Amino acid sequence: MDIQEQKPFVIGLDLGGTNSVFGIVDQRGQVLATNSIKTQSYKTVEDFVDAGVEALKPIVAKVGGINQIKAMGIGAPNANFYRGTIEYAPNLSWGHEGVVPLADMFSKRLNIPVGMTNDANAAAIGEMQYGVARGMKNFIMITLGTGVGSGIVINGQMVYGSDGFAGELGHVTMVRGENGRMCGCGRTGCLEAYCSATGVARTAREFLEKSSEPSLLREIKPEEITSLDVSIAAGKGDKMAMEIFDFTGDMLGAACADFAVFSSPEAFVFFGGLTKAGDLIMNPIKKAYEKYAMPIFKEKPKFLISGLDDAAAAVLGASAIGWEL
Amino acid sequence: MDIQEQKPFVIGLDLGGTNSVFGIVDQRGQVLATNSIKTQSYKTVEDFVDAGVEALKPIVAKVGGINQIKAMGIGAPNANFYRGTIEYAPNLSWGHEGVVPLADMFSKRLNIPVGMTNDANAAAIGEMQYGVARGMKNFIMITLGTGVGSGIVINGQMVYGSDGFAGELGHVTMVRGENGRMCGCGRTGCLEAYCSATGVARTAREFLEKSSEPSLLREIKPEEITSLDVSIAAGKGDKMAMEIFDFTGDMLGAACADFAVFSSPEAFVFFGGLTKAGDLIMNPIKKAYEKYAMPIFKEKPKFLISGLDDAAAAVLGASAIGWEL
**pLDDT one-digit tens code per residue, A30-57:** 999 999 999 989 989 999 999 999 999 9
Average pLDDT of span B17-28: 92
In A272-314, the DSSP E strands lie at: 302-305
Q: Looking at the DSSP assignment, which residues form a beta bridge with residue B37?
A: B20
Work out the minimum CA distance from B145 to partner chain A, whole angstroms: 18
Task: Categorize the per-residue pLDDT at B308 as very low, low, confident or very high, splitting at 50, 70 and 90.
Answer: confident
Q: Which of A138, A162, A173 sits opposite B138 (nearest CB)?
A: A162
Residue contact B262–A166, C-beta within 8 A? yes
Work out the minimum CA distance from B76 to partner chain A, whole angstroms: 16
Task: Categorize the per-residue pLDDT at A77 as very low, low, confident or very high, splitting at 50, 70 and 90.
Answer: confident
Residue contact A159–B163, C-beta within 8 A? no
pLDDT of residue B1: 45
Work out the minimum CA distance from A181 to partner chain B, whole angstroms: 14
Residue B139 and residue B176 in contact, taking contact as beta carbons nearer than 8 Å: no
pLDDT of residue B5: 56
For residue B69, give Cα distances in angstroms to A155, B317, B318.
29, 16, 14
In this structure, how many other beta carbons lie within 10 angstroms of the beta carbon of residue A66? 16
* Chain A residues within an 8 Å CB radius of B154: 154-155, 157, 159, 161
Q: Which of B162, B265, B296 sits opposite A266 (nearest CB)?
A: B162
The SS3 assignment for A27 reads coil
Which amino acid type is present at position A91?
A: N
Q: Which of A152, A161, A174 sits opposite B265 (nearest CB)?
A: A161
| Beta-sheet pairing, A99-100 with A85-87 | antiparallel
ipTM: 0.90
Dist. CA A130–CA A128, nearest whole Å: 6
DSSP B25-89: EETT--EEEEEEEEGGG-SSHHHHHHHHHHHHHHHHHHTT-GGGEEEEEEE-TTEETTTTEEE--
For residue B197, give Cα distances in angstroms to B147, B202, B275, B314.
7, 9, 11, 18
Residue contact B263–A165, C-beta within 8 A? no
Average pLDDT of span B243-270: 98
Residue A321 and residue A79 in contact, taking contact as beta carbons nearer than 8 Å: no
In this structure, how many other beta carbons lie within 10 angstroms of the beta carbon of residue B311? 12
Q: Looking at the DSSP assignment, which residues form a beta bridge with residue A259?
A: none
For residue B236, give Cα distances in angstroms to A271, B216, B242, B276, B279.
54, 9, 10, 14, 13
> Which of A94-98, A255-259, B78-82, B307-311 ranks highest by mean pLDDT?
A255-259
Residue A118: how many CA atoms within 13 Å on its side-chain side? 27
B118 or A310, higher pLDDT: B118
For residue A96, is pLDDT > 80?
no
Closest C-alpha to A102, from A124, A117, A90: A117
Question: Mean pLDDT score of chain A, rounded to an integer?
Answer: 93
Q: Which of A157, A263, A266 sits opposite B155 (nearest CB)?
A: A157
Work out the minimum CA distance from A285 to partner chain B, whole angstroms: 17
Residue contact A266–B152, C-beta within 8 A? no
In this structure, how many other beta carbons lie within 10 angstroms of the beta carbon of residue A17? 14
pLDDT of residue B310: 73
pLDDT digits (tens, 9 = 90+) for B259-302: 999 999 999 999 998 999 999 999 999 999 999 999 999 999 99
Q: State the count of interchain CB pairs (< 8 A) between A and B.
A: 126
Q: Which of A159, A171, A254 sits opposite B294 (nearest CB)?
A: A171
Which amino acid type is present at position B50?
A: D
* Chain A residues within an 8 Å CB radius of B262: 152, 159, 166-167, 169, 172, 259, 262-263
Work out the minimum CA distance from A166 to partner chain B, whole angstroms: 5
Dist. CA A183–CA A148, nearest whole Å: 11
Average pLDDT of span B210-239: 95
Dist. CA A28–CA B323, nearest whole Å: 40
* Angle formed by the axes of helices B310-323 and B119-130, nearest 10°: 90
Residue B91 and residue B134 in contact, taking contact as beta carbons nearer than 8 Å: no
B28 or B133, higher pLDDT: B133
> Which of A75-84, A120-129, A131-140 ranks highest by mean pLDDT?
A131-140
Residue contact B161–A171, C-beta within 8 A? no
Residue B206: how many CA atoms within 13 Å on its side-chain side? 12
Chain centroid offset of residue A28 CA: 21
Residues of B within an 8 Å Cβ radius of A: 137-138, 152, 154-155, 157, 159-169, 171-176, 185-187, 254, 257-259, 261-266, 292, 294-297, 300-301
Residue contact B295–A154, C-beta within 8 A? no
Dist. CA A279–CA A285, nearest whole Å: 9
Dist. CA B317–CA B120, nearest whole Å: 9
Task: Categorize the per-residue pLDDT at A5 as very low, low, confident or very high, splitting at 50, 70 and 90.
Answer: low
pLDDT of residue A207: 97
pLDDT digits (tens, 9 = 90+) for A218-253: 999 999 999 999 999 999 999 999 999 999 999 999
Dist. CA B61–CA B319, nearest whole Å: 17
Residue contact B257–A173, C-beta within 8 A? yes
pLDDT of residue A1: 45
In chain A, the DSSP E strands lie at: 9-15, 19-26, 31-38, 69-75, 79-80, 85-87, 99-100, 114-117, 139-144, 148-154, 157-158, 267-271, 302-305
Dist. CA A58–CA A67, nearest whole Å: 14
Q: What percent of chain A lies above the pLDDT cut of 70?
A: 98
Q: Which of B166, B258, B263 sits opposite A161 (nearest CB)?
A: B263
pLDDT digits (tens, 9 = 90+) for A59-70: 999 999 999 999
Residue A4 and residue A296 in contact, taking contact as beta carbons nearer than 8 Å: no
Range in A78-82, A201-205, A307-311, B256-260 the model is least confident about: A307-311
Q: What percent of chain B lies above the pLDDT cut of 90?
A: 81
Residue B180 sits at the vertex; the CA angle it makes with B291 and B235, to the nearest 5 degrees, is 55
pLDDT of residue A119: 87
For residue B52, is pLDDT > 80?
yes
Average pLDDT of span A110-119: 94
For residue A313, is pLDDT > 60?
yes
Dist. CA B279–CA B286, nearest whole Å: 10
Work out the minimum CA distance from B192 to partner chain A, whole angstroms: 13
For residue A307, is pLDDT > 90?
no
Task: Categorize the per-residue pLDDT at A92 as very low, low, confident or very high, splitting at 50, 70 and 90.
Answer: confident
pLDDT digits (tens, 9 = 90+) for A129-168: 889 999 999 999 999 988 899 999 999 999 999 999 999 9
Mutate to test the interface with B, among A82, A163, A292, A303 (most CBs of B within 10 A): A163
